[in-house]
């Protein structure tokens, strides 16, 4: 199937996925006495085309996440007419910062002071304001200071990274982000994230974002106070099945 017919059936599929996701979020909020409007959905569109971003926009999604600059930059350009908020959620090398600051509104993966300084320099150069979340490494297995496969600052270093963000004109400390360690208990991990989030908020009261929870663990994230969920698979399907 190609053309308008395929596009309609893709839209129907994504709409159904979004309805299922909304009811999961509602149930998870209900279970812990939170309101659904306290939890925002960021659609993580990596590996999926700009046409899917348009479908999501038609369904009311305004926040879109990507994890690789090479893919995100052209997709954001293709969708420039949509007035979306772009979230960069992947590990960020300093040599990609110059490109990322052109389209990203929020960078979720700020995990070292040098990266904060580079983001500040490059954001000022293009005259943009960028909200930065300090990514917290919740994997106790990976040694302090060593970038694990999923990145993130050691919990003990999070405040200094937040301070480095705060020191940069053009950047704002937005909050924290984390990915639950593979194989661990997400509830326990997100509980630790909530403690770090509270420490950051104590110093920077406006830093209210807790970006946690993906397709497989959003309930645990909501129970621990997540304000932003990063959802790929549950909206767009299994990326392993999405080749070409």
**Interface residue list for ligand PLP (CB under 6 A):** 44, 46, 67, 89-90, 179, 214-216, 230-234
| Nearest residue to 174 via CA among 120, 224, 134 | 134
**To the nearest whole angstrom, how small is the minimum distance from the Cβ of residue 88 to ligand PLP?**
10
* Token pair recorded at residue 198: 């509270």
Q: Given the DSSP bridges, would you call strands 106-110 and 171-177 parallel, antiparallel or unpaired? A: unpaired
Question: Cα–Cα distance between 207 and 40 in angstroms, integer?
Answer: 15
Element (H, E) at 194: helix 186-203
- Closest CB to ligand PLP among residues 59, 121: 59
**To the nearest whole angstrom, how small is the minimum distance from the Cβ of residue 205 to ligand PLP?**
26
CB 239 within 8 A of CB 214: no
- Closest CB to ligand PLP among residues 22, 124: 22
- Closest CB to ligand PLP among residues 79, 89: 89
* Token pair recorded at residue 201: 């908020």
Q: Given the DSSP bridges, would you call strands 40-44 and 171-177 parallel, antiparallel or unpaired? A: unpaired
**To the nearest whole angstrom, how small is the minimum distance from the Cβ of residue 108 to ligand PLP?**
7
| Nearest residue to 236 via CA among 105, 62, 55, 5 | 55
**To the nearest whole angstrom, how small is the minimum distance from the Cβ of residue 112 to ligand PLP?**
17
Q: Which residue is nearest to ligand PLP (CB)?
A: 232
- Closest CB to ligand PLP among residues 111, 157: 111
**To the nearest whole angstrom, how small is the minimum distance from the Cβ of residue 231 to ligand PLP?**
5
- Closest CB to ligand PLP among residues 8, 23: 23
């Amino acid at each position: 199937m190609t053309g308008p017919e395929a596009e309609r059936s893709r839209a129907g599929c994504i709409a159904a996925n979004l309805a299922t996701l909304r009811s999961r979020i509602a149930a998870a909020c209900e279970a812990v006495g939170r309101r659904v409007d306290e939890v925002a959905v960021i659609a993580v569109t990596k590996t999926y085309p700009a046409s899917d971003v348009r479908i999501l926009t038609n369904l009311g999604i305004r926040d879109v996440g990507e994890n690789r600059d090479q893919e995100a930059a052209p997709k954001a350009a293709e969708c420039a007419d949509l007035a979306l908020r772009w979230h960069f959620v992947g590990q960020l090398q300093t040599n990609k910062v110059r490109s990322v600051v052109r389209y990203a509104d929020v960078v979720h993966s700020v995990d070292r002071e040098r990266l904060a300084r580079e983001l500040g320099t490059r954001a000022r150069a293009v005259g943009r304001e960028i909200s930065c979340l300090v990514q917290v490494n919740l994997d106790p297995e990976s040694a302090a200071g060593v970038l694990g496969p999923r990145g993130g600052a050691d919990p003990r270093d999070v405040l200094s990274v937040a301070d480095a963000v705060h020191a940069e004109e053009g950047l704002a400390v937005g909050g924290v982000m984390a990915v639950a360690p593979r194989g661990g208990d997400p509830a326990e991990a997100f509980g630790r994230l909530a403690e770090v989030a509270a420490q950051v908020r104590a110093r920077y009261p406006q830093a209210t974002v807790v970006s946690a929870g993906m397709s497989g663990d959003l309930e645990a994230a909501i129970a621990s106070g997540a304000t932003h969920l990063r959802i790929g698979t549950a909206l767009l399907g299994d990326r392993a099945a999405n080749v070409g």
